[in-house]
Amino acid sequence: MQVLDPADEFARSLAKVLIIEGGYSNNPKDPGGATMKGVTQRVYDEYRRSHGLPLMPVKNISNSELEAIYRKKYWDEIKGDKLAPGVSCVVFDGSVHSGVAQSVKWLQRALQAMGVYQGLIDGILGQGTLLALGGVNDNDSLIARILDRRMAFLKALKTWKTFGKGWTARVNGVRAVGQAWATGSVGPEIEYVAGGEAKALISDAKPAPVLAVADATTGGGIGSGTLAGTLQQAQDQLTPLSTSSEFIGKLVAGLIIASAVLTIGGLAYRWYAKRKKDELQDALDLNVAVNAQAAA
């Protein structure tokens, strides 16, 4: 088994990411827009401005610019040099794909699930997160948990239907490489799969079910029941007038049934909608103040 020098982590991790990202793309359904080897036009414009250089199409980015952007904007932000082999590659790829903060949240949630992290899920790779990483004795398992969180996030995006196949292939490839490197192996080759390069951003999250709809339905059922009670009183007063009383009796019965259907249906939908909303918020890591104690 070949053991690789951790000092080479950035170079070999970048090589894998560049394969995954492919070349130039400008898919109208990709929120990243015009992208070259994983670097979007917006990110390239920021880089050029920061160096006092005129803007130009990202398609013309040089290799030296590409490497500088990847190191400063992604690798340094996740403190890649301080992460274990394999783990650094996984967090790095997630950062390129969905942003640094989101990728770090997946790492923090994974550490939390392993019982070694009790800090905030804030997307900041600070000293607390690094200390927690020092308490991990199974990086293979850590990587699996990180990528399980990532897959849940991807499935919670509106763009999943379009890019889900490519994203799944990307995550599976990163999982295989990361876990191999975590155990000191060279790891498998990785392949480009169309669609895997499309950015997966929280801004494209699926909308949560609206609980107000369920509440309105339940309220409608209760309202129908109240009206039925009023009509029942009218029926009692109209008993001598058999024709009117019979009509109101049928109307009351119908309203009672409608009330029951609306109330039960509203309550059932509210339970379903709340469960789906909670699942969506969890997958998207929207509750950034969640910590291990609160989640217990």
DSSP H or E stretch at residue 36? strand 35-36
Question: Residue 172 domain-assigned?
Answer: yes
The Cα 132–Cα 129 span in angstroms is 5
Whether residue 151 has pLDDT greater than 90: yes
Whether residues 83 and 217 fall in one domain: no
Whether residues 197 and 218 fall in one domain: no
Q: Please, which pLDDT band fits residue 293 given cuts at 50, 70 and 90?
A: very low
Number of domains in the chain: 2
Whether residues 144 and 289 fall in one domain: no
Whether residues 133 and 233 fall in one domain: no
**Start-end of H helices in the chain:** 9-21, 41-50, 63-69, 87-98, 100-113, 127-134, 139-155, 160-182, 211-237, 242-283, 292-295
Question: Residue 1 domain-assigned?
Answer: no
Note down the domain range covering 113.
6-202
Supply 164's token pair. 């889900």
Write out pLDDT tens, residues 234-252.
555 545 545 555 666 665 5
In this predicted structure, what is the pLDDT of residue 148?
Answer: 97
Whether residues 195 and 60 fall in one domain: yes
Whether residue 156 has pLDDT greater than 60: yes
Whether residues 115 and 192 fall in one domain: yes
Whether residues 185 and 234 fall in one domain: no
Question: Residue 69 domain-assigned?
Answer: yes
Whether residues 134 and 14 fall in one domain: yes
The Cα 89–Cα 173 span in angstroms is 11
Q: Please, which pLDDT band fits residue 8 given cuts at 50, 70 and 90?
A: confident
CA atoms within 13 A on the CB side of 134: 7
Write out pLDDT tens, residues 175-212.
999 999 999 998 889 999 999 999 999 999 998 776 56
Domain endpoint, select from 152, 183, 202: 202
Q: Please, which pLDDT band fits residue 281 given cuts at 50, 70 and 90?
A: confident
In this predicted structure, what is the pLDDT of residue 209?
Answer: 74
Whether residues 160 and 183 fall in one domain: yes
Whether residues 55 and 141 fall in one domain: yes
Whether residues 53 and 174 fall in one domain: yes
Domain endpoint, select from 183, 202, 221: 202
Q: Tell me the backbone φ, ψ of residue 39, rounded to 5 degrees.
A: -95, 120
Spatial CA neighbour of 92 closest among 117, 111, 74, 73: 74
Question: Residue 133 domain-assigned?
Answer: yes
Question: Residue 58 domain-assigned?
Answer: yes
CATH number at residue 95: 1.20.141.10
Write out pLDDT tens, residues 66-112.
999 999 999 999 999 999 999 999 999 999 999 999 999 999 999 99
